[in-house]
Chain A
């Protein structure tokens, strides 16, 4: 019994810098993090353009919430096209590259918008590998 107590005491006898209280995290910084976590409700215009044999959409301009991930854009596009799960669909920005699915529409818009639109190309075959 006394042995257990001893070893516990040893384990707890850490130098003060090794076990700081959680309260030493700056509240102002944590508040700032919460602010940046808030979703941006603004919308940006996404313009879909078919490539190759992909069907053309009747309406190809959409306002999409900027905080959405690109994955949501892909899902939206699949729904609009009536694509079934497993039907191939490849998406690109500016006829150049496929963005990461977890990148946000907002980030892509800030870096790649053309004339106020984010241009998303879609194809049924891999076009720009």
Chain B
């Protein structure tokens, strides 16, 4: 089975990303999210299995990188099916460009969503179905059904080729760049070989190759460019970030996560809409924009704003805000994310390879 492993392991002892003083913790979180994988079970639709297929083996398990895409798994899946399941006659007739995936709950899987996002979104969805149980759905493979013909092209929106997936990926990178800086100069300023290098890094699942280029377009989080919080709001703070004087420290500061116009973020509700809006890294009052503020602004019914803490008294010098019943939780890269996480930091350290911070909202159990 080792023939079928796609995940090329790179564990260089040195070769850390040395770019613009990327600090240890930033690199650590970027590497952790990059190395994250999810279990998938891929089963050919039994009604579509060609004659003479080996029916005992039509199921394939794979531990897929979160940052990868379904079209990039196709060569490995095809190799397995052709070698082990289909006979030669069937292998000749099958057209890979007609293959498509469905989740076992009947939802189509889009070619251009990162695999980690598909996994989180569907795992959450499974927990709120009637009769579901949290335990039965956590850490089990996401069950995918592979269809071999008649793709519903109008719903898949994209052809299954790696090339069209790459185009969609580049589009997302540029959109993220535009959200951060108001233009796409950082991405379009990359040489062609570097632009291609980003995609190759994903394809080969090589952290160092990807970040060698990505470090040029991703905001930095070096110590010192984070604002002191909570501080008195400087008079010139606007939603576009910090006062111009903050740029005096040089390029690191100018590219800092807290200096972007807005963090590229999308909220994914289970089976519901995807919500996107401008997310300034610093709020009007000069404090960093936190995940809890962001969620209670955009999905207040699920994340009701916390009532303010009572005024401090002698017996209670540091009063806590009264707690409210937790209705929902947020996953970033499959990880339960603390409400006081700062959006700018999340965007720089836990965004997907396409530059987008994907916040998947799940529903809490009583």
A residues neighboring B (CB under 8 Å): 14, 17-20, 22, 24-26, 28-33, 35-37, 67, 71, 93-94, 96-104, 107-108, 110-112, 128-129
Contact = CB atoms under 8 A, between A and B. Distances in A.
Nearest to A14: B135
A18 B133 contact: yes
Given A36-B272, A99-B171, A26 B178 contact: no
A104 B274 contact: yes
Given A97-B171, A107-B276, A110-B277, 7 more contacts: A22-B129, A26-B325, A33-B363, A67-B273, A94-B178, A110-B278, A111-B278
B364 A29 contact: yes
Contacts of A17: 135
B27 to A, nearest CB: 28
Contacts of A67: 273
A37 B361 CA distance: 14
What is the predominant secondary structure among interface residues of chain B facing chain A? loop
A19 B133 CA distance: 6
A26 B302 CA distance: 11
Contact of A33 (B135, B184, B272): B272
Nearest to A37: B272
A100 B171 contact: yes
Contact of A28 (B133, B157, B327): B327
B363 A26 contact: yes
Given A25-B128, A26-B363, A129 B170 contact: yes
B174 A128 contact: yes
A110 B110 CA distance: 24
B130 interface: yes
B299 interface: yes
A67 B365 CA distance: 30
Given A26-B366, A30-B363, A101-B157, A37 B178 contact: no
Nearest to A99: B175
A19 B134 CA distance: 8
A25 B272 contact: no
20 contacts: A18-B136, A25-B128, A25-B366, A26-B366, A29-B328, A32-B299, A32-B328, A33-B271, A33-B363, A36-B301, A37-B269, A93-B175, A96-B174, A97-B171, A98-B168, A100-B112, A100-B172, A102-B110, A104-B273, A107-B275
Given A28-B327, A29-B364, A97-B175, A19 B135 contact: yes
Nearest to A75: B154
B272 A29 contact: no
Contacts of B134: 20
Contacts of A100: 112, 168, 171-172, 175
A20 B274 contact: no
